[in-house]
Structures are given as structure tokens and as C-alpha cells.
Homo-oligomer: A and B are copies of this chain.
Amino acid sequence: MLSKNQQKHIRQLSRKKYRQESGFFVAEGEKLVNELLDSGWKADQIYTTVPLQKTPHTIVDPSVIKKISHLASASPMLGVFQLPKYSNADTDLDKFSLVLDSVADPGNLGTIIRLCDWFGIKNLFCSPNTVDCFNPKVIQSTMGSIARVRCHYVDLLSLIENCNTKVYAATLDGNSHYQESFPSHGLLVMGGESNGIGHKLLKKIENRITIPSRIGDVGPESLNVATATAILLSEIFRP
């Protein structure tokens, strides 16, 4: 049985500030919990209604999971995991990396993490005001990819200024993505839902890239950030 205090602790992990103070986050669902464990993430405790071969775990009643779940419909398994600590060396691994400026929607970030995983990007760089990747809604929408993609919240201006690689900004006034020959090393910067890439940051980026609309000005103003990222990554990693 979980004490009231333990239940409260787990429920409070839905808040970013509490996650950062306590050093833990919650992941729900058999598949996700198992993927994190298999990828070497450290669990503080797994609460499960179904048998599990891994430790540490506690078998609980479905009603208990319901009380501590962050989801509208609770899964049979909920894990409390330690927030990871990445070293700087971890960030040097990708040939082409993705950078997000001010992405606010948890579903968009989760979907983009899943895209990074699909295309083999291991490091994702986010502006500090991008939604936290350990937000329960982000974790769920990564569909397990959070286990393999590291999100770094960093100052993007200094990241761009100090990188020795070609940098692309996705904008509405750049070269067509169909015509660009992307190099094997580089950075792609995507802007958030409300205002795109910040003005100061954009000024530092030489190359602008656009997905041309086939109906022009009479159509939508822009694409959703996750779908635009999908299209550009598919093009960047064209074999």
C-alpha cells in the first residue's frame, strides 16, 4: 500500500518545478516503462497491476494506479524514474541535430522526439522556454522514444554561435527544401507554434529553408511544427 504522502509525491511529479526539486519523473504504460528499463534508466519504483520480471517493483491494485496516474485513463504500470544527468560529451554524437525554439505544445514536442528517434538523432536542443520533455503528456506522446533521445535545454544563441557546422532555420521565406543539398553535418532550427524562431536567434542563422505551399497565399499561413520537422528531416536524411 502507498501512504498518502507517497501518493502526493507521485501526483506532484506532474509539475516541472517539483520534478526538478525532487529529481524524479513519472512514465506510464507497460511498453514505455519496459523501454526505459531496457535502456538503462534508473527506476525508483515501478507500481504495477501485472507481473513484472524487473526490480524494483510493487504489485498494486488498479485503484491505486488510478489515484497516482497523470493520465485520463490509467495504464496497468507506472514507473517513478530518476531524471537523467547528461554530460557535455553526450551532445557530440550526432551528425545532424535538431534545435527547437519556444515549442509550447506537449504533443508537438513528444511527436518531434519520436521523429528524432526514427531518424537516428540522439540529441535534441531546446530553448529553456520549450515545454519540459518530462511533462507527462510529452512522455506519453514520445511512445517510448524518450528512452533514446536526450533533450538538452540550453541557450540557443550560444549554441549557434559556437557550433562549427552549417545551420538552417525553417522559415516561410527561405529556399525550397526540394532544392537544397543538405550536408551530412549540420543543425536544423525549428520555431515554436506562436512566433516561430526568435528574432535575435534568426539573425545569427545564414541559411533559411522553406517547405513551399502548393496553393500559396490563399492557403494556411504555416504548417504545424511537428509536421514541418518531419518533412525537413526526411529530406535531410535522404540517402
Contacts and interface: CB of A to CB of B under 8 A. Distances in A.
Contacts of A141: 224
A-B interface, 8 closest residue pairs, ranked by CB to CB distance from nearest: A227-B230, A120-B214, A231-B234, A230-B230, A120-B215, A111-B224, A230-B231, A118-B213
Contacts of A115: 223-224, 227
A137 to B, nearest CB: 11
Contacts of A238: 178
B178 A221 contact: no
A214 B143 CA distance: 17
A172 to B, nearest CB: 12
Interface string A112-139: 0011011110000000000000000000
A213 B116 CA distance: 10
A120 B211 CA distance: 13
16 contacts: A107-B107, A117-B215, A117-B219, A120-B214, A120-B215, A120-B219, A144-B220, A178-B238, A178-B239, A226-B226, A227-B227, A230-B230, A230-B231, A231-B231, A234-B234, A234-B235
Copies of the polypeptide in the assembly: 2
B230 A223 contact: yes
Contacts of A214: 118-120, 237
Contacts of A34: none
A220 B119 contact: no
A146 B161 CA distance: 41
Given A120-B214, A228-B230, 10 more contacts: A111-B227, A115-B223, A115-B227, A118-B211, A118-B215, A118-B219, A178-B238, A223-B230, A230-B230, A234-B235
Interface size class of A (residues with CB under 8 A): 35 or more
Interface of A: 107, 111, 114-115, 117-120, 141, 143-145, 148, 177-178, 211, 213-215, 218-221, 223-224, 226-231, 234-235, 237-239
A143 B194 CA distance: 12
Nearest to A232: B234
Contacts of A220: 114, 117-118, 143-145
Nearest to A179: B239
